[in-house]
């Protein structure tokens, strides 16, 4: 084991101490091991929130199924879903979510300037019209769900967004808002 691995463990140990709940690094439960392997394959690592949920294998299993189905399967592109997740995390001031979804966008090849634009000025993010209005629908569902709903849904339909696509954007927004609250409540640190 080289110096890099020791440093990674030290950082993980420090992050675990800062968290308000135990983060599972080496699970004993076979179900958790299998889910961790699936998460690692899909996401390139195990985010801290998944390590927290590993304290309850049934909750981890449910969370991963929902997360996988919303973020990796469906009609909307993965970059759009990650952009929704980053925008919602930024609107909610969730450093953990901002870090996680910025990294995901980076791994998908989105340039750093565009990631910053999505985070700080999503109205000027570079997306095709339909994806742009779905981003706006998702944002308003998070910050002002009672305002402009009818207008935004109508705009989305004008770009030929289907009801399934509108619902998917709303579902991603809602799930990420929930993970933001959980991460903040647990004191999860931003991932580096």
Fold agreement (3-71, 78-186): yes
Does the structure show a pLDDT above 80 at 6? no
When comparing pLDDT for 35 and 149, which is higher? Answer: 35
Supply the pLDDT for residue 69.
97
DSSP state, residue 123: G
Q: Domain coordinates of the chain in residue numbers?
A: 3-71, 78-186
pLDDT digits (tens, 9 = 90+) for 79-121: 999 999 999 999 999 999 999 999 999 999 999 999 999 999 9
Mean pLDDT, residues 136-164 taken together: 93
Query: What percent of the chain has a predicted confidence (pLDDT) above 90?
Result: 85
The helix (run of H) or strand (run of E) holding residue 35 is helix 30-43
- What is the predicted pLDDT for the residue at 18? 67
Give the fold, CATH level 3, of 78-186.
AhpD-like (1.20.1290)
Q: How far is CA 181 from CA 88, 97, 139, in A?
A: 11, 10, 16
For the four alpha carbons of 59, 65, 66 and 68, in that order, the dihedral sign comes to positive
Rounded Cα–Cα distance for residues 161 and 140 (Å): 16
Using the predicted structure, report yes or no on whether residue 29 has a pLDDT greater than 60: yes
Q: Which pLDDT value is given to residue 51?
A: 96
Query: Which CATH architecture best describes the domain 3-71?
Result: Up-down Bundle (1.20)
């Amino acid at each position: 084991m080289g110096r890099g691995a020791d440093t990674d463990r030290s950082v993980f140990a420090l992050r675990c101490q800062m968290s308000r709940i135990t983060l599972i690094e080496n699970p004993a439960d076979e179900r958790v091991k299998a889910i961790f392997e699936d998460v690692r394959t899909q996401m390139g690592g195990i985010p801290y929130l998944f390590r927290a949920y590993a304290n309850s294998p049934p909750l981890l299993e449910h969370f991963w199924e929902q997360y996988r189905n919303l973020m990796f399967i469906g009609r909307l592109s993965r970059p759009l879903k990650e952009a929704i997740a980053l925008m919602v995390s930024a609107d909610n001031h969730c450093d953990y979510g901002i870090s996680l979804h910025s990294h995901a966008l980076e791994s998908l090849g989105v340039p750093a300037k565009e990631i910053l634009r999505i985070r700080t000025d999503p109205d000027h993010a570079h997306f095709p019209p339909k994806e742009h209005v779905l981003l706006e629908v998702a944002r308003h569902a998070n910050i002002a769900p009672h305002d402009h709903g009818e207008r935004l849904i109508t705009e989305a339909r004008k770009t030929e967004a289907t009801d399934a696509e509108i619902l998917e954007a709303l579902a991603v927004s809602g799930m990420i808002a929930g993970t933001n609250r959980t991460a903040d409540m647990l004191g999860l640190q931003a991932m580096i």
